[in-house]
Structure 1
Amino acid sequence: MSAPRRSVLALALLSMLVEEPMHAYRMQQLIKERRKDDVVNVSQRNSVYQTIQRLVRDGLAEIASTERTDNRPERITYRITDAGRTTLGEWLRTMLSTPALEYPEFPAALSFLPNLAPPAAIVELTTRVARLEERLTMLDAEIAQVTRFLPRLFAIESEYQRQVVAAELTYVRNLVEDLRAERITWPFVDGAPVWPG
């Protein structure tokens, strides 16, 4: 049998089950209530259910109880298994110690930037600057709110995100400045870049 497939959502669900047995909807709600949905995509309830089913299939979680009330669908409560606890620790150690090769959209968009005319690129990147500034303001407020009531430990993912957003903001501001000063430019004719040669 192959090793269970690691994912951020699977890690989050196993972490929820360490606290106590619970049903999938409750796990999704807790992730949102704790604002972990900034780092874990739980926007699609179906993906939560599919992931918990995979965890059960892989022996990392199991059904603790099943109940049905009136004409409502069955509510299944899950709990973590010993194998799940072991795997959670292994995944967490790997995710903390080993940088992963990820494929975010923004670097990909930058690699194809010449498909926009330089003035259009400036417009879009300037919009990104404004959105990054808004994100920084939101993260600052979130960190301040969390640390008012809880130890700093509960805000460290937001602190990390803040550092990443601040670094990106600095980079994009400099890129816009370089584009405006034409230190970076490319020929663009009839809706397409013109490549040398």
Structure 2
Amino acid sequence: MKRRKVSNLLGLAVLSSLMERPMHPYEVASVLRARGKEADMEIKIGSLYTVVGNLARHGFIEVAESGREGALPERTVYRITDAGREELLDWVRELISTPQAEPRRFKAGLSVFAVVGPDQAAALLRERLAALEQGTEALRAAAAEHAAFVPRLFLVEDEYEIAMREAEQAWVRALLEELTSGSFPGLAEWRAWETTGQAPAATPGPKDRGAPPAN
């Protein structure tokens, strides 16, 4: 992964917005919110101005015009530079083409979920599944609402998020079925561990089994 001068993903959104036309930071925020980008990143004016300042300092954007109307604060409009266009395109190419390991809280929980016992594990998975289903429906409704006035080109990340959530839901349902039907391997040993506190013996790995017998 390339080390970038401005790594905050809000910078990616700012550069993308300024590719369309020069804008004031408030206008950038309005455009991002209108397109539903708050689902992907937190859009705070303070953070936005910090990112804009960093992009300008590194030459990715520059002041297009600046002025003041009456007692209103000075209004600065920014435009993207050639260096900014190159950075944006390179950044997008990397994000789309290169898978990267990202910390996953759910995966971390699964790595140790044996400690809660099968019944509690099933209850927790049901709780997660309900939250996933509710969140996916809300995301699907928001995507449909945005699709009425935003081109699909700017909404494909919503399609991806919905697909990923649906895939996770399918996996959680399958695991729940194994736990509740009793088909999950080692379920009896897991229950015994919960009751007695005695962890089941580890299954020997290939290195522990020794070399295969000679023919």
Task: Tell me, yes or no, whether TM beats 0.5.
Answer: yes
- Structure 1, unmatched stretches of 5+, are none
2:213 is matched with which residue? none
Once the two structures are superposed, residues 167-194 of structure 1 have per-residue CA deviations (whole angstroms, 9 ceiling, x without a partner) of 000011112222334526533369xx75
Kept in 1, the 8 Å contact 2:113–2:121? The answer is: yes
Moved more, 158-167 or 175-184: 175-184
Structure of higher CA gyration radius: 2
Q: Does 1:128 align with 2:128?
A: yes
Kindly provide the amino acid, as one letter, of the partner of residue 34 in structure 1: R
2:180 is matched with which residue? 180
Tell me the CA shift for residue 55 of structure 1. 1.0
Q: Does 1:55 align with 2:55?
A: yes
Paired residue secondary structure (2:155): helix
Kindly provide the amino acid, as one letter, of the partner of residue 53 in structure 1: G
1:10 is matched with which residue? 11
- Seen in structure 2, the aligned counterparts of structure 1 residues 32 and 150 have a Cα distance that, compared at 3 Å, is closer
- Structure 2, unmatched stretches of 5+, are 202-215
Number of residue pairs the alignment of both structures matches: 193
What is the TM-score normalised by the length of structure 1? 0.81
1:36 is matched with which residue? 37
**CA root-mean-square deviation:** 2.8
What is the TM-score normalised by the length of structure 2? 0.75
2-side partners of 1:115 and 1:47: how far apart? 40
Paired residue secondary structure (1:59): coil
Q: Which runs of structure 1 show a deviation greater than 6 angstroms over 4 or more consecutive aligned residues? A: none
1-side partners of 2:10 and 2:134: how far apart? 26
1-side partners of 2:31 and 2:113: how far apart? 39
Kindly provide the amino acid, as one letter, of the partner of residue 101 in structure 1: A
Tell me the CA shift for residue 126 of structure 1. 0.9
Tell me the CA shift for residue 150 of structure 1. 5.2
1:65 is matched with which residue? 65
1:76 is matched with which residue? 76
